[in-house]
Amino acid sequence: MCGIVGVVSAEREVPSLLYRSLRKLEYRGYDSVGIATIGSAVKVIKRVGGVNEIENLMQGLGGKTGIGHTRWATHGEVNERNAHPHFDCTGKIAVVHNGIIENFSEIREFLSERGHTLISETDTEVIAHLIEDELSSGLNLLESVRRALLKLKGSYAIAVIYEEEPSKIVCARKESPLLIGIGNGENYCSSDYVALLPYTKEFIVLNDGEMAEITPHSCKVFRIDTGEEVKKEKTIMDWKPEQARRNGYEHFMLKEIMEQPMVISNSLRIPRKELKEAVDVIASSEYIYVVGAGSSYHASLGMEYLLTNLGGMRAKAIISSEFENYSPRGLEDSVVLCVTQSGETADTLKAAKISKRRGATVLAMTNLVGSSITRISDHTIYMRAGPEVGVAATKTFTTQLALMSLLSIEVSYNRGEITNSERTELEVELRSIPRKTSSLLKGLKDLRNLSRRLIDRKSFYFLGTSIGLVTALEGALKLKEIAYVHAEGYPMGESKHGPIALVEDGFPVIVVDHGDEKERIEYGVMEMASRGAEIVVVSPREIKGESLIKTPEVSPILSPVIQVVPLQLFAYYSAVERGLNPDRPRNLAKSVTVL
């Protein structure tokens, strides 16, 4: 998730406006920063690091049209060559981009054959060269951008400037946020309201498949597929700056829960080369150890289940802090998958180093390009969830699960454990989860009432069977982390070996039904209910309990990706109803960088 901004003005120079806007977008990415403007020619500054890195470089820019970008790296290392804006061969076209272009490798090859020289490792640079190709046939900037976009597969929000049409920005959106700000003698575009609220309260929100041509005095919106002009209504946005940074949500955690349909979709757009490399490494190993801490450990349990039951592999999840004690001394035939959203978790980094010393091949799964884990590991697979501000993992957890599901399906096919038709069926289901999650989120309004009803309870059980245990464990962790309520996740069958002693009238038990083993689930529910437990069931079907949180039907092995979402939201409301700040839970840090 990156931040983009553009300004085109009739009267004033724009570099300082771009800089101030990028400061407000820095929460969306802080790997590198860049600005391009048009005065007598296109000028650019780029630096690795945060927005402050360019503060003292602004004097020479000038220009009344410009675009800026703050990067969260997804393709290519963190360096100035990969920083945005990106250019064509002539240096007259500049592009900033947020999103993931799935077919950039094929386009890059196509462009190289046509004589283009590409200098970065990013997916974005191909857009500038495609536009250059179209302009060379005599088209204007608007139509050249439109035709270039028709060649792209994936998600994007882009803004483009061109030296030969200096008082104009062309921008477009598909599955990444983009809006237009309407000013007086100047107009704007950005990924987020927060960047533009100091300058305007009037906005036009682009829908997927729309593009706009903005000048200092006009804004026209068009459909990308046909070029037909679209009439749009203005929206008045009277938000306070911090509220805008959260996109109108009360807390970052809620914003990040609601972003999950988009980021899950982005995570599944992993470049084929990156996916194939990880699949080949895992499929050729004798043993696979999956290592993580906190939510990443729960995701690791999901990967263990998938590789064992779908792929027929010997797989084991181990908590990072105990890896040294619970792993074999010799790991020469093993792959160790180290899962850490920050790439800086001290226990997981230690586990990676131990694995290397013991002869293992180390594969990292992380959200941060260039993080410490990427330098230790032999191979890396990226989550592409964007920055997560809330301390409690939400969207990073579901993107881990989604990627692990995709990896496991491909590994299972590679090893001959599933047929091609089974692989296709599972992957179609997996790619339907973002849409189903979006629908689910719209129907969870009663969760706040449920959290109010249970506000006086001092302890919870979260029970599940099979892969539903992953969801139960994560649901319990979320409630502990942000609502400060004792909650334990257990295998349903294990609950009668001790934990059931605590169950009495009104004791809340949340049961995760992953869509399989119905008789076993129903028996467990009856067993708890007979002791007076208040039962809440998370299920795609009708299971008897005081409350039912209905989730969309998916293959049981994919269920944690979608079924954890209502439990995240339940924990969020439980914290808010107790007057707590879910973004900053006590005693916890976003990244645990000490042993």
Q: Are the beta carbons of 181 and 234 closer than 8 angstroms?
A: no
User: Helix-strand-coil percent breakdown of the chain, rounded to 5?
Assistant: 40, 25, 35
Provide the token pair at 579.
Answer: 């007057």
CA distances for 574 relative to 346, 375, 456, 457, 577, angstroms? 30, 39, 10, 11, 5
- Three-state SS annotation for 69-126: EEECCCCCCCCCCCCCCEECCCCCEEEEEEEEECCHHHHHHHHHHCCCCCCCCCCCHH
Distance (Å, whole) CA 83 – CA 44: 11
Handedness of CA 248, 253, 259, 261 (dihedral sign): negative
Catalytic residue among 220, 232, 550, 590: 590
The 10 Å CB-count burial string (b at 16+, else e) for 409-441 is bbbbbbbebbeeeebeebbebbeebbebbeebb
Name the amino acid, one letter, at 80.
Answer: E
Distance (Å, whole) CA 574 – CA 458: 12
Q: What stretch of H or E contains 397? A: helix 395-414
Angle at 153 between CA 152 and CA 159, to 5 degrees: 50
Residue showing tokens 């002539």: 90
Q: What radius of gyration do the chain's Cα atoms show?
A: 25
State the first-to-last Cα distance of the chain, in angstroms, to the nearest integer: 29
Strand partners, 512: 464, 538
Catalytic residue among 2, 171, 189, 219: 2
Reply yes or no on whether 2 is catalytic: yes
Strand partners, 204: 180
Count of other CB atoms within 10 angstroms of residue 371: 22
Strands 459-464 and 508-512: parallel
Angle at 33 between CA 27 and CA 36, to 5 degrees: 125
Distance (Å, whole) CA 51 – CA 69: 9
Distance (Å, whole) CA 477 – CA 297: 11
- Three-state SS annotation for 481-543: HHHCCEEEEEEHHHHHCCHHHHCCCCCEEEEECCCCCHHHHHHHHHHHHCCCCEEEEEECCCC
Q: Would you please indicate which residues are annotated as catalytic (active-site) residues?
A: 2, 590
